[in-house]
Chain A
Amino acid sequence: MSSQKTVSRLSRILGLIPYVLANPGVSTEEVMERFGYSRSELTRDLNAVFVCGLPGYGPGELMEAYIDEDEVVIDSADYFSRAPRLAPIEALGLLAAALAVSGSGQGTPALDSAIAKLSDVLLPEADATLAVDLPPSTDSATTLKRAAAENRVTHIVYRSLSREETTERDIEPWLVFSTLGNWYVMAHCRLVDDMRTFRIDRIRSVEVLEERFDPPDEIPEPGVGYSPSDNDVTATIDLFPGARWVLEYYPVEILEEGDDHVRIRFSATDPELPARLLLRLGGSARLVEGPDVSERLKHLGKALSDRYG
């Protein structure tokens, strides 16, 4: 078990015990929903609690913890009767999540009063030391959010990130999310009959259609990860210190860490994406291998020197 998983499991147990002590007779169902437990996870954790207690560890010293007729029972655990302090990352995670939602125009009066109460407890003397600004939500993002909530097929005009082309397509928007400073929509794209993630600032126009679609039972975790396929163009690139940020922004494969550079393999559906990236990087990167990308880069360089004369 990784240490993160152990921490998460212990954290849940330390929250569970005071809740059950304060709510005797609480149903198994409610505990599972409140704490995100499956039945077997709950049983496993109650079994762990059951063998812990005060030194001596005899029947009189151990906590009681079990499921009885679909009620969760915990007893003899007075030392855990109060809710535990949150770890810094938990406190930050909760406050930042609330501030992100509140600041993106999705807030409610209940959320704002919850933020005030949490700040009193979590930041007793550090009020207003935390700011979370998601990128401003655009009209397109708002429209797509509504379309996703209503399961409506949406027609978009999209300028591709990796290709120099504008396409029109019908999509079934599932989820609008923000990551790496941009807004994205995750959707089933009818043009390619597959799941696609579109950057919303590249969507030129959005039209919500009458037709409704059946959303999937479970939406995958949002992300802009890119899974390479056999048809991809690949390039081997050396990144010097000024270009290391590329590692954070693109899903690249690290081939080798040198003294002054890191060598990566960059995969894309179109050579335009790595070629443009290399243009931006100038002398802080070097294309080691990738004939398609090299040709594309030279072409872009020529077009620019013509333009700048």
Chain B
Amino acid sequence: MRNVVERVLNTLIYLLESPHPVTAEEIRRTVPGYSQDSDEAFHRMFERDKELLRQLGVPIKLDALDVWEVDFGYTVDPDEYAIPDPGLTPEERAALSLAARIVQLGGSHAGLDGLRKLGGVEQGVAFEPFGADLGAEGETLGAVFDAVVQRSPIEFTYREGRRKLNPYGIAFRRGHWYLVGVTTEGERVYRIDRISAIDKGEPGGFERPAGFNPSTFLQSQPWEAGGDEEVKATVRFDPEVAWWASRTLGVEHSEGHLEVTIPVSNRDAFVGWVLSFGPSAEILAPEELRRDLMDRVTAAVDGVVA
């Protein structure tokens, strides 16, 4: 374990500098740290190191060693390994340094790792009392984003079923990451944290329409994002919670209670939201939503085992 950093660096240099693809066996014989292990131990170690290189973003490829395509070896193209210099000015670097420091993704400062590859953070960036956590589990999100950037069609598991889609873009809204893409049935939106077992197709496998913008596919309130037939619901919020509801809804409110009519296309989400106000809010109409709400309350109270 102590030598993993050195072993990976040596392997990477070997692959970058070798004029021909290198077989696993050659790596084992050449790079220090591998040779003394059994076949099985070597393969386990080598697989793990390759995975590390991939996680680092190193474009490691398997190429045929000869025209008959009998033997294969690994290679890293120096031009694919490197990234063009974005030519950041010190002011631009300072602005990015601040953003990368205060915004987290996947529980870590992945943006800082990225900025370090591009020459590090600017010195003397002042502290700002502001931060954001863009949540999400990093590995799935990274894989989906990679497919978006490379235009690779993907297949994945979502709510028990396999889905196939051309990933157009991703968007962060209301604390979650969403994937927007096109299936044979049209445009679809998926919550990325509910996606698993991704299979990626060939890069460049589809064309993205010009001017595509993923955020136009996302609704701003949870009860607007559903397949239910739209109904207009009227809700009364008592004075002690009216100010708070008015902020969520973005409507004017000065004093006293608040009565508003809201278009609803996801009834479950809407009933859940109204219930979060407890007995301080009441759906006045339509009758069916009042019934949905009371059914939910009855189920909750009846579900008590204790």
Contact = CB atoms under 8 A, between A and B. Distances in A.
B6 A51 contact: yes
B111 to A, nearest CB: 4
A169 B122 CA distance: 39
Contact of A223 (B82, B103, B122, B133): B133
B92 interface: yes
5 contacts: A88-B145, A92-B110, A93-B105, A95-B111, A125-B151
A300 B57 contact: no
Interface string A3-44: 110111111111110110000000000110111100000000
A73 B118 CA distance: 19
A92 B141 contact: yes
Interface string A80-122: 1011111111111111111011101010101101100110111
A94 B52 contact: no
Given A106-B130, A159-B241, 5 more contacts: A13-B5, A101-B99, A106-B128, A128-B211, A131-B172
B240 A166 contact: yes
Interface of B: 1, 4-6, 8-10, 13-14, 16-17, 30-32, 48, 51-52, 55-59, 78, 80-89, 91-96, 98-100, 102-103, 105-106, 108-124, 128-135, 138-139, 141-143, 145-146, 148-149, 151, 168-176, 193, 208, 211-215, 240-241, 243-244, 247-248, 272, 275-276, 278-279, 282, 290, 293-301, 303-306
Given A86-B83, A121-B83, A279 B52 contact: no
Contacts of A54: 13-14, 17
Residue in A120, A301, A303 whose Cβ sees the most chain B Cβ within 10 Å: A301
A206 interface: no
A289 interface: yes
A281 interface: yes
A8 B86 CA distance: 21
Given A173-B129, A201-B247, A89 B142 contact: yes
A110 B103 contact: no
Interface residues of A, number: 123
Given A34-B120, A283-B303, A300 B278 contact: yes
Nearest to B133: A179
B207 to A, nearest CB: 10
Closest 4 CB pairs of A and B: A181-B175, A93-B110, A34-B120, A87-B57
Interface of A: 1, 3-4, 6-16, 18-19, 30-31, 33-36, 45, 48-49, 51-55, 57, 79-80, 82-98, 100-102, 104, 106, 108, 110-111, 113-114, 117-118, 120-123, 125-126, 128-135, 138, 145, 148-149, 159, 164, 166, 173-182, 201-202, 204, 222-223, 248, 276, 278-283, 285-291, 294, 297-298, 300-301, 303-305, 307-308
Contacts of A1: 1, 4
A270 to B, nearest CB: 13
Contacts of B1: 1
Given A33-B123, A86-B57, A177-B131, A110 B91 contact: yes
Nearest to A3: B52
Given A35-B120, A106-B130, A118 B86 contact: yes
Contacts of A79: 13, 16-17, 78
B175 to A, nearest CB: 3
B133 A8 contact: no
Nearest to B53: A10
